Amino acid sequence: MDDVRIILSASRTPLGSLIRWCTKSQVSHCMVEFPVWGRRMVAEARVGGVRIVPSTKARRHVVIEYRCRFPSRAGLAAISDEAGEKYDYSGLFVIGWAIIAAKWLRLSVKRWRWKSESIKCSELIVIFLRASGVKGAELLPMELTTPEDIRGFCQTQKSYFEVIINGNEAHSGLIP
Protein backbone atom coordinates (compact mmCIF):
# COMPACT_ATOMS: atom_id res chain seq x y z
CA MET A 1 0.00 0.00 0.00
CA ASP A 2 1.30 3.47 -0.87
CA ASP A 3 2.26 5.96 1.85
CA VAL A 4 -0.67 8.38 1.47
CA ARG A 5 -1.24 11.00 4.16
CA ILE A 6 -3.77 13.59 5.21
CA ILE A 7 -2.02 16.70 6.46
CA LEU A 8 -3.65 19.44 8.52
CA SER A 9 -1.98 22.80 8.98
CA ALA A 10 -2.46 26.17 10.63
CA SER A 11 -1.94 28.73 7.90
CA ARG A 12 -0.53 32.04 9.11
CA THR A 13 -2.45 34.03 6.49
CA PRO A 14 -5.36 36.32 7.43
CA LEU A 15 -7.74 33.83 5.77
CA GLY A 16 -6.26 30.96 7.81
CA SER A 17 -6.61 32.96 11.02
CA LEU A 18 -10.22 33.79 10.16
CA ILE A 19 -11.00 30.12 9.46
CA ARG A 20 -9.51 29.07 12.81
CA TRP A 21 -11.42 31.82 14.63
CA CYS A 22 -14.77 30.96 12.99
CA THR A 23 -14.38 27.22 13.54
CA LYS A 24 -12.72 27.51 16.97
CA SER A 25 -10.01 25.22 15.68
CA GLN A 26 -6.26 25.03 15.61
CA VAL A 27 -6.21 23.89 11.98
CA SER A 28 -7.29 25.88 8.94
CA HIS A 29 -6.13 23.84 5.95
CA CYS A 30 -5.98 20.20 4.86
CA MET A 31 -4.38 18.36 1.97
CA VAL A 32 -3.53 14.87 0.72
CA GLU A 33 0.13 13.89 0.26
CA PHE A 34 1.11 10.89 -1.88
CA PRO A 35 4.10 9.41 -3.72
CA VAL A 36 4.53 9.79 -7.48
CA TRP A 37 7.63 8.44 -9.23
CA GLY A 38 9.79 8.74 -6.12
CA ARG A 39 8.58 12.25 -5.20
CA ARG A 40 6.07 13.36 -2.58
CA MET A 41 3.19 15.36 -4.11
CA VAL A 42 0.28 17.21 -2.53
CA ALA A 43 -3.27 17.70 -3.77
CA GLU A 44 -4.94 20.70 -2.18
CA ALA A 45 -7.63 23.29 -2.74
CA ARG A 46 -6.37 26.73 -1.89
CA VAL A 47 -6.66 30.32 -3.00
CA GLY A 48 -6.29 30.05 -6.75
CA GLY A 49 -7.92 26.63 -7.04
CA VAL A 50 -7.22 22.92 -6.79
CA ARG A 51 -3.62 22.06 -7.53
CA ILE A 52 -1.20 19.15 -7.39
CA VAL A 53 2.32 20.29 -6.51
CA PRO A 54 5.52 18.92 -4.97
CA SER A 55 5.07 18.48 -1.23
CA THR A 56 7.87 20.94 -0.49
CA LYS A 57 5.75 23.76 -1.97
CA ALA A 58 2.72 23.06 0.20
CA ARG A 59 3.86 21.78 3.62
CA ARG A 60 3.80 24.79 5.92
CA HIS A 61 2.85 25.02 9.60
CA VAL A 62 1.84 21.34 9.85
CA VAL A 63 -0.12 20.65 13.02
CA ILE A 64 -1.01 16.99 12.57
CA GLU A 65 -0.45 14.35 9.90
CA TYR A 66 -2.21 11.02 9.42
CA ARG A 67 -1.06 8.04 7.37
CA CYS A 68 -3.97 6.40 5.55
CA ARG A 69 -4.38 2.68 6.32
CA PHE A 70 -6.71 1.91 3.44
CA PRO A 71 -6.40 1.43 -0.32
CA SER A 72 -6.45 4.95 -1.70
CA ARG A 73 -5.95 4.67 -5.47
CA ALA A 74 -9.64 5.33 -6.22
CA GLY A 75 -9.57 8.35 -3.90
CA LEU A 76 -6.43 9.74 -5.51
CA ALA A 77 -8.00 9.29 -8.96
CA ALA A 78 -11.12 11.14 -7.79
CA ILE A 79 -9.20 14.13 -6.48
CA SER A 80 -6.96 14.25 -9.55
CA ASP A 81 -10.17 14.81 -11.53
CA GLU A 82 -10.67 17.99 -9.45
CA ALA A 83 -7.28 19.51 -10.42
CA GLY A 84 -7.77 22.95 -11.89
CA GLU A 85 -11.20 23.53 -10.32
CA LYS A 86 -11.78 26.99 -8.86
CA TYR A 87 -11.56 27.68 -5.12
CA ASP A 88 -14.94 28.19 -3.46
CA TYR A 89 -14.59 31.77 -2.18
CA SER A 90 -18.33 32.41 -2.08
CA GLY A 91 -19.03 29.18 -0.21
CA LEU A 92 -16.30 29.97 2.31
CA PHE A 93 -17.76 33.44 2.83
CA VAL A 94 -21.35 32.21 3.20
CA ILE A 95 -20.40 29.34 5.52
CA GLY A 96 -18.24 31.66 7.62
CA TRP A 97 -21.10 34.10 8.13
CA ALA A 98 -23.53 31.24 8.80
CA ILE A 99 -21.23 29.83 11.49
CA ILE A 100 -20.84 33.25 13.12
CA ALA A 101 -24.59 33.97 12.96
CA ALA A 102 -25.43 30.52 14.35
CA LYS A 103 -23.07 31.12 17.28
CA TRP A 104 -24.44 34.59 17.98
CA LEU A 105 -28.04 33.37 17.79
CA ARG A 106 -27.23 30.02 19.42
CA LEU A 107 -28.69 28.06 16.50
CA SER A 108 -27.85 24.59 15.30
CA VAL A 109 -27.55 24.08 11.55
CA LYS A 110 -28.78 20.60 10.65
CA ARG A 111 -29.14 20.95 6.87
CA TRP A 112 -27.09 23.08 4.57
CA ARG A 113 -28.42 24.26 1.23
CA TRP A 114 -25.37 26.01 -0.23
CA LYS A 115 -24.03 24.22 -3.28
CA SER A 116 -21.22 25.41 -5.51
CA GLU A 117 -19.26 24.00 -8.43
CA SER A 118 -16.09 25.34 -6.80
CA ILE A 119 -14.26 23.50 -4.03
CA LYS A 120 -12.67 24.09 -0.59
CA CYS A 121 -9.81 22.09 0.94
CA SER A 122 -12.02 20.06 3.26
CA GLU A 123 -14.37 19.17 0.40
CA LEU A 124 -11.40 17.77 -1.52
CA ILE A 125 -10.58 15.52 1.45
CA VAL A 126 -14.22 14.35 1.68
CA ILE A 127 -14.11 13.46 -2.03
CA PHE A 128 -10.89 11.51 -1.40
CA LEU A 129 -12.30 9.64 1.62
CA ARG A 130 -15.61 8.77 -0.04
CA ALA A 131 -13.98 7.55 -3.26
CA SER A 132 -11.55 5.46 -1.19
CA GLY A 133 -14.50 3.74 0.48
CA VAL A 134 -13.77 4.92 4.03
CA LYS A 135 -16.80 4.05 6.17
CA GLY A 136 -18.38 7.09 7.82
CA ALA A 137 -17.07 9.56 5.22
CA GLU A 138 -20.52 9.64 3.63
CA LEU A 139 -21.74 11.33 6.83
CA LEU A 140 -19.38 14.30 6.38
CA PRO A 141 -21.47 17.03 4.70
CA MET A 142 -19.59 18.09 1.60
CA GLU A 143 -20.26 21.84 1.82
CA LEU A 144 -20.15 22.25 5.60
CA THR A 145 -17.15 20.10 6.58
CA THR A 146 -14.23 22.10 7.98
CA PRO A 147 -10.56 21.15 8.39
CA GLU A 148 -11.34 20.62 12.10
CA ASP A 149 -14.08 18.14 11.14
CA ILE A 150 -11.51 16.27 9.02
CA ARG A 151 -9.12 16.20 12.00
CA GLY A 152 -11.88 14.90 14.27
CA PHE A 153 -12.88 12.25 11.75
CA CYS A 154 -9.30 10.99 11.39
CA GLN A 155 -8.84 11.05 15.17
CA THR A 156 -11.90 8.85 15.79
CA GLN A 157 -11.33 6.41 12.91
CA LYS A 158 -8.14 4.83 14.28
CA SER A 159 -8.48 1.72 12.12
CA TYR A 160 -8.19 3.92 9.02
CA PHE A 161 -5.59 6.45 10.18
CA GLU A 162 -2.24 6.43 11.99
CA VAL A 163 -0.87 9.64 13.54
CA ILE A 164 2.56 10.37 12.03
CA ILE A 165 3.18 13.94 13.17
CA ASN A 166 1.39 15.57 16.05
CA GLY A 167 2.51 19.15 16.47
CA ASN A 168 1.09 19.55 19.98
CA GLU A 169 4.44 20.40 21.49
CA ALA A 170 5.24 22.96 18.81
CA HIS A 171 1.80 24.54 19.06
CA SER A 172 1.51 24.44 22.89
CA GLY A 173 -1.52 22.22 23.28
CA LEU A 174 -3.45 23.18 20.16
CA ILE A 175 -4.93 19.72 19.68
CA PRO A 176 -6.21 17.66 22.61
Task: Tell me the per-residue pLDDT of 146-162, one tens digit each, with 9 for 90 and over.
Answer: 899 999 999 999 999 99
On whether residue 25 sits in a domain, the answer given is: yes
pTM given for the model: 0.78
The DSSP secondary-structure symbol of 53 reads E
**Cα 74–111–95 angle (5° rounding)?**
80
Q: Which of 49, 63, 27, 66 is nearest to 146 (CA)?
A: 27
Quick one: 106 exposed, middle or buried, by C-beta within 10 A (0-12, 13-18, 19+)? exposed
Q: What is the pLDDT of residues 24-45, one digit of tens each?
A: 778 888 999 999 999 999 999 8
For residue 122, give its domain range.
5-166
Q: What is the pLDDT of residues 65-118, one digit of tens each?
A: 999 999 999 999 999 888 766 555 555 555 555 666 666 666 555 544 445 556
On whether residue 150 sits in a domain, the answer given is: yes
On whether residue 173 sits in a domain, the answer given is: no
Q: How many domains, in total, are found in the chain?
A: 1
On whether residue 94 sits in a domain, the answer given is: yes
Q: What is the mean pLDDT of the chain?
A: 80
